[in-house]
């Protein structure tokens, strides 16, 4: 209504509105340094004017204003900047994890130093060369034995340190899975609170800030995809949007499994959802992969897979075991390097038709695998995200496996080449005391040369006990001055061999092929020494090891470069975010002054109306 009382109400509404604006400004200032806080602003709107045109409305110059009201207190937020930031956080998380562990691999390989494998290879062959020049000295044989033992020990140590690092990486995966599930539970809870507040007609700004902060942290772990629902609710699942950053992920990558909905169609499962929030999926961590009795680890066969629901290994109540049939070493490595399973709300593993194809139908789940259940490896729904800390940790395991495999090939090539030349036989079983002992053996199974690795290579105990059993001449009886066999072994450092083609089951005879033959340069009394000849398709042992170090340097350099690039990129996004959502104290101080003056002005209106009412009510009596 118009009149003095209408004016009084206008002043009152103005005071209340400015008081709300001052409260919001104060809240912004108080949270200027709060992580994840988005500045808020009051949305003011005029109240309904007086009066509405009608047949019996009072004629006048027009509608009369009735004041102001607060219609909303909104966050200032740019959803596109949020999306960009979260995508890049996943890439940064991936390469930060890689940088962390690759630098540790560099420390383990310890190159180039005076105590690294490369230097010990040089000292080993130098000792053989010195022995070949002075074969009559017993000290020369002891030096060869000592250098060989040092080289074998360093190969053993390096392999074992890489194995320990892999265990540490798996512990990091377990911790990440546990943190991820904890964050998901918090987001799910906040999501429900936000919807409840919004349904009640209020604006849950601070709750939404907390949820967005958790979403930022989650996106650093793996790629996420968010679908907005009514009343500010969200549905959240995994994303495959960053697959181009990592080509070694599975065909499905970070794609979530699909289940049949009430409409009869298959839909992606959610980690957080607005409707039916209890029916969400989580991740579980594989603790142990144990082969059945008398089965080699990594070979095809059945394995007992022990996993912990939610990654919580502290409680045995979370422990589950299933039997998985694995058909190849490739499948075993994929399971060992991933170690994260999709599980439903009950902790049962999601079962799909085939995890090795990109077909959508092969990702559709109609059942789960309960405790003590069994399935084929291809039925397991593994979580193999293409970005994030989890991707980095999984990829580092692949790198460790690769470097261990390369060291195994190097150790095996060393053993085969030295053993063949020292024993003068193309096969392991033919070596004897008459022609020469095998110089290196399998420390775990001395009768199995084929399975020599960097982990188990060691010097023959007979030679270690008695270095005089080292044969230096063309034959055992060619005299103390004959050092041609020792020189032939020393020359192995320059011989091209197909080291890169060595497989786990490759024998000495298959490795030597047609390249182990009589050498006319090494002759004594009509007898010729068998030596290893050049394989033009191969490389020297020094070059092969240098390639390992070079490849590691490239991987670590890429990780460091990407970390720096992402830091710069994210700094730019954060600056843009701050310019939109951040609290500017200068701006808030200016607003505070403005709202203060407006409040005082509205108070003056009320004071003025009070004086006018006094005239009307009391002054007219005179």
Question: What is the C-alpha to C-alpha distance for residues 53 and 224, in angstroms, rounded to an integer?
Answer: 53
pLDDT the model gives residue 432: 61
* 443 shares a domain with 547: yes
* 572 shares a domain with 522: yes
- Give the largest CA-CA distance in the chain: 150
Structural domain range at position 38 = 4-76+582-621
Question: What is the C-alpha to C-alpha distance for residues 262 and 268, in angstroms, rounded to an integer?
Answer: 13
* 313 shares a domain with 207: no
Give the CA count within 13 Å in the CB-facing half-sphere of 157: 13
* 95 shares a domain with 29: no
Task: Summarize pLDDT for 106-119 with one digit per residue, the tens.
Answer: 999 988 888 899 99
Task: Summarize pLDDT for 465-488 with one digit per residue, the tens.
Answer: 999 999 999 888 777 788 999 999
Beta strand pairing call for 374-376 and 319-326: parallel
**Structure tokens of 465?**
């006990």
Those residues whose C-beta lies under 8 Å from the C-beta of residue 288, and which sit 6 or more positions away, are 304, 305, 306
Instruction: Tell whether 236 is covered by a domain.
Output: no
pLDDT the model gives residue 316: 93
pLDDT the model gives residue 251: 66
- Residue 253's closest CA among 298, 218, 222? 222
Asked whether 256 and 269 are in contact (CB, 8 A), the reply is: yes
The rounded Cα 307 to chain-centroid distance in angstroms is: 19
Total structural domains in the chain?
3
Distances (CA, A) of 418 to 223, 354, 584: 50, 46, 72
Instruction: Tell whether 293 is covered by a domain.
Output: yes
* 326 shares a domain with 354: yes
Instruction: Tell whether 231 is covered by a domain.
Output: no
pLDDT the model gives residue 522: 86
* 554 shares a domain with 610: no
Distances (CA, A) of 303 to 291, 298, 376: 4, 10, 10
Those residues whose C-beta lies under 8 Å from the C-beta of residue 218, and which sit 6 or more positions away, are 180, 183, 184, 187, 224
* 596 shares a domain with 526: no
Distances (CA, A) of 284 to 288, 352, 383, 478, 518: 12, 16, 9, 66, 59
Q: In sequence order, what are the beta bridge partners of 321?
A: 306
* 474 shares a domain with 358: no
* 426 shares a domain with 573: yes
* 315 shares a domain with 370: yes
Instruction: Tell whether 419 is covered by a domain.
Output: yes
Instruction: Tell whether 357 is covered by a domain.
Output: yes
Beta strand pairing call for 319-326 and 340-343: unpaired
Rounded to two decimals, the pTM is: 0.90
Give the per-residue SS3 of 361-403: HHHECCEEECCCCEEEHHHECECCCCCCHHHHHHHHHHHHHHH
Asked whether 105 and 467 are in contact (CB, 8 A), the reply is: no
Instruction: Tell whether 418 is covered by a domain.
Output: yes
pLDDT the model gives residue 49: 85
* 213 shares a domain with 316: no
Long-range CB contacts (< 8 A, 24+ apart) of 441-449? 441/415, 443/156, 449/415, 449/416, 449/419, 449/507, 449/508
Instruction: Tell whether 15 is covered by a domain.
Output: yes
Instruction: Tell whether 396 is covered by a domain.
Output: no
- Buried b / exposed e across 224-248, counting CB within 10 Å, b at 16+? bbbeeeeebbbbbbbbbbbbebbee
The segments of the chain whose pLDDT lies below 70 read: 1-2, 54-62, 241-252, 430-435, 621-622
pLDDT the model gives residue 616: 85
**Structure tokens of 235?**
């549905």
Q: In sequence order, what are the beta bridge partners of 518?
A: 530
* 529 shares a domain with 473: yes
């Amino acid at each position: 209504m118009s009149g003095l009382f209408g004016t009084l109400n206008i002043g009152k509404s103005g005071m209340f509105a400015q008081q709300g604006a001052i409260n919001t400004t104060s809240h912004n200032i108080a949270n200027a340094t709060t992580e994840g806080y988005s500045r808020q602003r009051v949305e003011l709107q005029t109240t309904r004017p007086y009066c509405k045109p009608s047949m019996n409305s009072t004629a006048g110059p027009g509608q009369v204003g009735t004041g102001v009201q607060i219609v909303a207190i909104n966050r200032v937020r740019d959803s596109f900047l949020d999306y960009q930031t979260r995508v890049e956080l996943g890439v940064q998380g991936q390469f930060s994890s890689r940088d962390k562990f690759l630098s540790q691999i560099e420390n383990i390989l310890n190159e180039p130093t005076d105590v690294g494998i490369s230097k010990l290879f040089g000292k080993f062959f130098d000792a053989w060369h010195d022995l070949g020049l002075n074969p009559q000295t017993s000290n020369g044989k002891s030096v060869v034995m000592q250098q060989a033992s040092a080289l074998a020990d360093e190969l053993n140590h390096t392999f074992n340190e890489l194995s320990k690092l892999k265990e540490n990486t798996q512990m990091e995966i377990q911790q990440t899975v546990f943190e991820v599930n904890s964050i998901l539970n918090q987001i799910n809870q906040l999501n429900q609170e936000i919807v409840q507040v919004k349904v009640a007609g209020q604006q849950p700004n601070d709750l939404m800030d907390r949820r967005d902060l958790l979403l930022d942290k989650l996106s650093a772990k793996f790629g996420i995809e968010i679908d907005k629902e009514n009343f500010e609710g969200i549905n959240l699942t995994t994303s495959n949007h960053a697959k181009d950053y990592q080509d070694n992920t599975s065909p499905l990558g970070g794609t979530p499994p699909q289940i049949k909905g009430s409409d009869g169609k298959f839909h992606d499962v959610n980690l957080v959802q607005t409707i039916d929030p209890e029916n969400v999926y989580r991740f579980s961590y594989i603790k142990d992969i144990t082969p059945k009795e008398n089965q080699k680890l990594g070979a095809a066969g059945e394995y007992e897979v022990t996993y912990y629901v939610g990654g919580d290994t502290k409680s045995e109540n979370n422990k589950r075991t299933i039997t998985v049939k694995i058909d190849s070493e490739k499948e075993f490595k994929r399971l060992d390097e991933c170690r994260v399973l999709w599980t439903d709300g009950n902790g049962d593993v999601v079962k799909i038709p085939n995890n090795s194809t990109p077909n959508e139908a092969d990702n559709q789940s109609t059942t789960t695998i309960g405790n003590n259940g069994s399935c084929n490896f291809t039925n397991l729904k593994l979580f193999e995200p293409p970005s994030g800390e989890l991707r980095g940790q999984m990829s580092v395991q692949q790198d460790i496996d690769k470097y261990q495999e390369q060291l195994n090939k190097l150790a095996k090539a060393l053993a085969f080449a030295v053993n063949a030349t020292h024993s003068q036989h193309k096969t392991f079983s033919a070596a004897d005391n008459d022609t020469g002992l095998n110089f290196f053996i399998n420390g775990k199974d001395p009768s199995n040369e084929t399975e020599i690795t960097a982990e188990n290579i060691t010097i023959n105990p007979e030679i270690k006990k008695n270095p005089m059993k080292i044969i230096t001449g063309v034959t055992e009886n060619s005299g103390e001055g004959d050092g041609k066999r020792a020189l032939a072994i020393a020359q192995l450092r320059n011989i091209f061999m197909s080291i890169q083609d060595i497989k786990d089951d490759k024998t000495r005879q298959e490795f030597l092929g047609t390249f182990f033959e009589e050498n006319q340069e090494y002759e004594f009394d009509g007898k010729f020494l068998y030596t290893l000849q050049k394989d033009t398709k191969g490389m020297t042992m020094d070059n092969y090891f240098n390639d390992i170090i070079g490849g590691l340097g490239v991987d670590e350099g890429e990780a460091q470069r990407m970390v720096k690039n992402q830091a710069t990129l994210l700094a730019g996004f954060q600056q843009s975010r701050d310019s939109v959502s951040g609290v500017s104290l200068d701006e808030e101080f200016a607003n505070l002054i403005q709202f203060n003056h407006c409040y005082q002005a509205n108070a003056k209106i009320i004071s003025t109306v009070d004086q006018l009412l006094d005239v009307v009510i009391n002054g007219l009596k005179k």
